[in-house]
Structure 1
Amino acid sequence: MDKFKKQRDTLIRKLSILEDINQTLSRSLNLKESFNAALNILFTRAKIKAGAVFLLDESDSLLRMEAHIGYDSPPDKVKYRLGEGLTGRIAQNKSPIVVPKVSKEPLFLNMMKGWNPRKDRELSFVGLPIISDYQLLGVLNVLLRYNPTRDLDTTLKFYKLVASALVQPIRLSNILLRERENLLNQKVRLDAQLKSEFNLNNIVGNSRSMQEVYEKVAQVARADTTVLIRGESGTGKELIAQAIHYNSLRSHKPFVRVNCGAIPETLIESEFFGHEKGAFTGAVKLKKGKFELADGGTIFLDEIGELSPMTQVKLLRVLQEQEFERVGGQETIRVDVRVIAATNADLEKLIEMGKFREDLYYRLNVFSIFLPPLRERKTDILLLADHFLLKYNRKHGKAIRRISTPAIDMLMRYHWPGNVRELENCMERAVLVCEDQVIHGYHLPPTLQTAESSNTTPRVSLQKAVENYEKDMIIDALKSTRGIVAKAARLLDSTERIINYKIKKYGIEVKRFKG
């Protein structure tokens, strides 16, 4: 009966140890930290003399120490080749090894100095492979004080369960490591792609005014100077801002864009600086602002002229001190951010009207770049059109080879109020509707098609056209009133006498509309 009770107590104790190990392994994604904690449980509760976990490095097929406990000297640099010593033999054969007396085993190399013959009369060794889906992940070794009555089969089964518990953390760590490597590789590829895409050589335009823009971008890109980009809507201000960032020393850090004109006044402070949990209704969790997200990189403030006076004050502080507080927070947050601002507004006029702070203007206008409108750089229109033709050929799987001469003339005559953005939209539409290899004038939007180019030149005088329009209006009114002239006159906001005069003048038969 006592023997049964002792076996039951031993089983309960071992199950409790396994439960603690499993809970410990699930608390952290750091393998070294988790395995050291698990070995500490074995050391204090299972009374092992020493223990170690080795992981297989697939790059060189070496078993490297990941965690250890109970050794006299730090064994961190200890490693085994496959087949070397007991640990290497376990890994090579993927099978456990139990040595009742290590003093009798020549393969026990004692590289980690876990056994001191002067202090320890004898030790037992238990080593097991850590395997998942027939794949070796590592090896678990423990040293136990020698006990001639110890049931080594039962001991081995217990440590097999311990080794099994180590499988999931290793697999998860390997998955996370691969994902991290993939993300890093992807980031490297994206960074290279962005640098290539926003290289100054890829910005289309060879006009004199654009050459001056390129020179300014090249001058300011590698400095941390605040830049103000000015120009009409659609001239490519964001493209220039990205070119500055991706050709700067901050290119590997974030580029964060904020459209100041698109954020409601009540939310703009939270968007800029973030908010603490519970700062206002709906703030269910902490949120980092755009400046915090851009730390180390560049923030692009588009449409800066749309900011309210209150926000301008807070922005000025960030530009001066590089620090702020989240909405509802007390902690001062410091950031290292380069600011590039852009606007199509006349800031000088806004200053005169009291709508834009003069001190903020001078803080932003350290280095100014002006982007000319497309109508002032006519020589770039055809270059841009060809560029967008190639771009949307690739995107939509088309094989359009050229733009016809009449279509080119239409592009060159148009005044492009929407600038480069409008030209890009125009060319994408043309590529979509074109079914052959040449873009003609009729493929372009109606806004570009003059009466001459579309063969709809008027054949009547202005006076005749007005008379025809007036006649049509009177006929429509008579149809609506079933030929009642007085009602038609009221409908047209005129008098019955004038309408009767016009009816007679245009030879309209009123009786056709009665009944």
Structure 2
Amino acid sequence: MNDTVTLEINVIDSFEEFSHCFTGECRVAVLPILYKISQVLVDSADFTASIPVILDTMQNHLKMQRGIITLYDRHVDTIFIHDSFGLSEEEKTRGIYAVGEGVTGKVVEKGKAIVAKRLIQNPDFLNRTQAYPKKGRSKAAFFSVPIIRGQKVLGTIGAERVYINPHLLRQDLQLLAMIAAMMAPAVELYMLENIEKVRLENENRRLKNTLKERFKPSNIIGCSKPMQDIYQLIHKVAATKATVLILGESGVGKELVATAIHYNSPSADGPFIKANCAAFPESLAESELFGHEKGAFTGAIATHKGFFEQADGGTIFLDEVGELSLSVQTKLLRVLQERSFQRVGGNRPIKIDVRIIAATNRDLAKMVEEGSFREDLYYRLNVFPMMIPPLRDRGSDVITLADHFVKVFAEENGKNINRISTPALNMLMGYHWPGNVRELENVIERAVILADDKAIHSYDLPPSLQTEEKEIGVDQVGQITLEARIQAIETKMIIEALKKHNGHMGDAAKELGLTRRMLSVRMEKYDISYKTFRSK
């Protein structure tokens, strides 16, 4: 049974029901406010003057948790939030919809009110504003009514609240429908007189939203919240020439972040030189970084350009910078201060234009305290620090990355493997990944090599992941109960169906022989979210 109800509302016939006080909250008290709204609209025909009164009525008199007023710019076929309460400015900026998209888009498309009796579980709920937590337990309903003038839908009024009494929900729906009908002429006039302003406002919101949502480096996989924060930092720092210090555990992808910064910077056409400081023998580190003149030492048979000179006009990435000796740190400090250096055995300063990105998995602040890392160099490098999150803190990115590696290694090994079984997924999600993305990549490569059919199974994974799982429903003599086995099978079938259908609950429910509502109830029982299985 679908949780979304589309309704045609006759605002005139609703007055009689609206005036009764049989729902625990009397709506007759709102009638003077309706009169006030009508007077504002009649006296000034000013849509914007009525908005504060309308939103205040929704928030303080109808006890709504959130309220939104959207406008529909038909010239660019876009719906955007014009005003609201319960949303931050950033969340409001994200609220942009196409006609037919989400609950709001469907109201504009059909010109009829829609009630989502439990918003968080509704298949049309997009969470475009990102105002809701991923695993919310909210029982709030959401309903939206169209603002119609003639045959044209001009926008919507939406409201969110927890309702125990369905009659009260219907009364509030009717009340907002009345308000929408009253304000429609003023909205039409506002759109006609301010069409360019509305369009610019809409475009500004769209561009801001696009900048926030679109930017994702092409070389990095994952859309978890911690990684979204990293993408924003990359986007901001890439446009500058600031020195960046990338911190994080081994295997989190620090080099990928450095690469993304370089190739999204104004110096993207310049060289990107990678220097692994841990790989330099101490006696040759200075020569590798800064070069040497012919004859500078035994074996120096020709002039050699070091990594800094090779990176001129671009970016140098100093990986594992914490491994440099104190003497080399001193020379590196001089380069950071003066943007010039001398080759080993040379006496001529060489000027360079280089962006420096350093990375380490060590605690440089602690090394400064211990005296193994120069304090002044630390502060020179630590201009724009970025802490890359470990894989264990990235949630469903584990599944996204695993699927990517399966595709890569299956193609590389000439195998037709297209999925990861549910037990294997559970093991991947339950593991703590001390080696992070690099370890996951190695695990999947091994599993692809071992796999004998079209799927990666739990027995294809290495022993380090073969941990004992806590079983539900184990009785006192250690036997797994029938109920536990049924639940385990049910969970597996639901996850397999959602994964197969890319998280689309309607298709998954059909395959399982359930209604969407029945599937939703089971998913809530087992704490399964369809969003985990959506392609990013």
Give the TM-score normalised by the residue count of structure 2: 0.47
Choose 1 or 2 for highest CA Rg.
1
Higher relative contact order at CA 8 Å, sep ≥6: structure 1 or structure 2? 2
